[in-house]
């Protein structure tokens, strides 16, 4: 089973700053099958990025994804209060599909 480790656990930043979230895989994962979701309290996860770098429909261009093999990054530019949420990565590259444990982004 591929383990996804996200870091940091919590990120506390001010509006306008840039957030950099990491997702590291225990084995190489095809970037085609690396996904990022945003989850706000009391809501279901929302698809942000698929294929490691493709934005889902309606997602702000302040969100961008990158990476390959075992290291993937979600970057949120010019943070806004509405970006306060937990962000999860997920891999579909192996038979057992797994999620990272999440990174909580707090806006000061």
Partner 1 sequence: QVHLQESGPGLVKPSETLSLTCVVSTASVDSGHNWGWIRQAPGGGLEWMGNIHNSGTANYSPSLRSRVTMSLNASKNQVTLRLTSVTASDTAIYYCATLHYDILTGYCPYWGQGTLVTVSS
Mark the segment that binds partner 1 (CB under 8 A) among 13-21, 47-55, 61-69, 70-78: 47-55
Q: For partner 1, which residue of 5, 18, 26, 97 counts as binding (CB under 8 A)?
A: 97
Site for partner 1 in 9-38 (CB under 8 A): 32-33, 35, 37
How many Å apart are CA 5 and CA 73, to the nearest integer? 12
Listed in sequence order, the residues at least 6 apart from 67 whose beta carbon sits closer than 8 Å to its beta carbon are 23, 31, 34, 52, 53, 73
Q: Does 94 sit near partner 1 (CB under 8 A)?
A: no
Q: Does 65 sit near partner 1 (CB under 8 A)?
A: no
Q: For partner 1, which residue of 24, 50, 65, 72 counts as binding (CB under 8 A)?
A: 50
Residue 23: alpha-carbon gap to chain centroid: 7
59: which 2 tokens?
């997602």
Contact 62/75 with Cβ under 8 angstroms? Answer: no
Site residues (vs partner 1, CB under 8 A) = 1, 32-33, 35, 37, 43-47, 50-51, 54, 56-57, 88, 90, 92, 95-102
């Amino acid at each position: 089973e591929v383990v996804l480790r996200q870091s940091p656990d919590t990120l506390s930043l001010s509006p306008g700053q840039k957030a950099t979230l990491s997702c590291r895989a225990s084995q190489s994962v095809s970037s085609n099958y690396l996904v990022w979701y945003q989850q706000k309290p009391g809501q279901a996860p929302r698809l942000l990025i698929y294929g490691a770098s493709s934005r889902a429909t309606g997602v702000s261009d302040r969100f961008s994804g990158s990476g390959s093999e075992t290291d993937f990054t979600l970057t949120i530019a010019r943070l806004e209060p509405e970006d306060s949420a937990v962000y999860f990565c997920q891999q579909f590259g192996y038979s057992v599909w797994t999620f990272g444990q999440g990174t909580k982004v707090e806006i000061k």
